[in-house]
Amino acid sequence: TTPPSHPTPQDPPHTLLLASTSGHIASLIPLPETTYRRLLSVTNQLLPALTPYGGLNAKAHRLPDGTRPVGVEAAGGRAIVDGAVLARWAELGAAKRAEIAGKGGYDGVGELREELEGVLGWSGMSYF
C-alpha cells in the first residue's frame, strides 16, 4: 500500500509486470491504504461465496510465508488483493453483490463497481 500522500492525481500509478517461467503474467499496482482495506474485505467475503476452480483452496496460495528473514519489514507479509477474485464479483446475484458491497464499506453496488473499474483496469490495462 502507499501512504496517503501518494499517488497524487497528476502522477499515474506505476504498474509492475511479472512473468514466470510457466508463462503466467501478473501485474502489481500500489493501492492507497483505505482502498486496500476495503478491497481486502470484499475479497475475504467473496472467497467463501464463490465456487473454487477444481475444488482448490482459493486462499492458501495467496497467504504470505509464515517465516521471514531477519530485517524484512512487516509490510512484506501483507496479503495481496487478487484482481481475479474481485473480477468474479460480477458472477454473484444482485442481492449478494449488494450485501458484499455494504459489508466492504461501500455505499452501494455502484461505488464498488467504480472502484473495481479503476483497480482492475477495466478502464486501462484490460482484456474486457
Residue 127 has pLDDT above 50, yes or no: no
Beta bridge partners of 26: 18
> How do residues 27-67 score in pLDDT, each as one tens digit?
888 888 999 999 999 998 998 888 877 777 766 665 656 66
Taking the C-alpha atoms of residue 41 and residue 34, their distance in angstroms, rounded to an integer, is: 11
So what's the pLDDT on residue 48?
86
CB atoms within 10 A of CB 39: 23
Boundaries of every domain in the chain: 33-63+77-120
Quick: pLDDT tens for 75-111. 555 678 888 889 888 889 999 999 999 999 999 999 9
Q: Amino acid letter at 112?
A: L
pTM for the model: 0.69
Find all residues with CB under 8 Å of 32, minimum gap 6, and list them.
1, 2, 4, 6
Q: Can you read off the three cell numbers belonging to residue 15? A: 504498474
What's the pLDDT band for 126 if we cut at 50, 70, 90?
A: very low
* CATH number at 33-63+77-120: 1.10.150
Which residue in the block uniquely carries the three cell numbers 453483490?
A: 97
Partners of residue 16 on adjacent β-strands = 28
